[in-house]
Structure 1
Amino acid sequence: MRRVVLCSFLVSMTAGSSLAQESKAPDVDPIEARQAIMSNNGAAAKLGGQMVKGETPFDPAAAGVALRTMQSGSLGFGYYFPEGSDTGGDTEAAPAIWEKPEEFRSALAKFQNDAAAAIEAKPEDLEAFKQAFSAVTANCKSCHDEFRLEKN
């Protein structure tokens, strides 16, 4: 089971990196790209949360992949908010992204830095992972509160 999860995260991480590399391609839909990245981040956060809650046994390798998935997705994420991508599709992007671009970039940079620090910490036990993971996921809530629209 753990190998399946680990493999799926590796595939997700590679897919997220591929999207970021293609960000200059004219046929990449920015809304679809950012939703794919957020889907990967959500899967990584779910696995991390399950380990933190004891629903899934802690696995240092899987924990590391989850953190790297979240950090990897964040690196290209900011490129997928060009002017005109604030509407259409099934976007949940809040107008605040375009109204307060410096604050959005700052929130994204904080997430990137906290995720990089969590990876650097190389948590090898559950308690260390809980601390590192909570620092990363605190960014998720604050960014979603400010820069994501609630779906009805």
Structure 2
Amino acid sequence: MKKLILAVSALALAATAAFADPIADRQALMKANGKAVGSIAPIMKGEKPFDAALVLEALKTLSDDAQKIDVAAMFPKGSETGEKTTVSPKIWEDTAGFQAAVDKFKADTAAAVAAPPTDMDSFKTTFGKVTSNCGTCHETFRIKKS
């Protein structure tokens, strides 16, 4: 019986530790997303030639990261305060809207990986669709840094 209690306690502690700092967790995820978008933005701007492998790698990162977004775990009530966060209270005022935005990002990035761009024209369409999700969330559910 003691072993069972210890095992359950260890699992509970591990689960808690996984999201011990939701602000840091979501910021790390968003930083990785920014890096992925930044790696292919020069292609969109015409500063670099289209590179299907690089585009697919970035889209996979975005899709993998999108699938990790668990609104309840990464945005628990009370994690909107502090110097290091720019989340808007609108996340908790419109949780359904925020969840819908996250779900759309998950779907759009998964679709982009499933049918990756093969040329500049298809890349422009895909890039626009995927990054419009970023803009939607950042405009609605984030406080602009001053």
Would the TM-score normalized by the shorter structure come out above 0.5? yes
What SS is found at the alignment partner of 1:25? helix
Task: State how many pairs are aligned.
Answer: 130
Q: Which of 3, 13, 16 is equivalent to 1:25?
A: 16
Contact 1:95 1:147 in 2 (8 A): yes
Matches within 5 A, 1:75-86: 75-77=67-69, 78=71, 79-86=73-80
User: Match for residue 59 of structure 2?
Assistant: 67
Contact 1:121 1:132 in 2 (8 A): no
Provide the rounded CA distance (Å) in 1 between the counterparts of 2:95 and 2:141. 10
TM score, norm. by length of structure 2: 0.83
Segments of structure 2 that go 5 or more residues without pairing to the other structure are: 1-13
Please identify the structure whose Cα radius of gyration is greater.
Answer: 2
TM score, norm. by length of structure 1: 0.80
Q: Which of 130, 133, 141 is equivalent to 1:139?
A: 133
Contact 1:67 1:115 in 2 (8 A): yes
Identity of aligned residues (%): 42
User: Match for residue 8 of structure 1?
Assistant: none
User: Match for residue 43 of structure 1?
Assistant: 35
User: Match for residue 11 of structure 2?
Assistant: none
Where do 4+ consecutive residues of structure 1 move more than 6 Å?
none
Contact 1:30 1:85 in 2 (8 A): yes
| 1:91 is the counterpart of 2:85 | yes
Provide the rounded CA distance (Å) in 2 between the counterparts of 1:75 and 1:122. 17
The CA RMSD over aligned residues, in Å, is 1.5
Q: Shift of the alpha carbon at 1:89?
A: 4.4
Provide the rounded CA distance (Å) in 1 between the counterparts of 2:127 and 2:58. 9
Whichever residue aligns with residue 83 of structure 1, its letter is: K
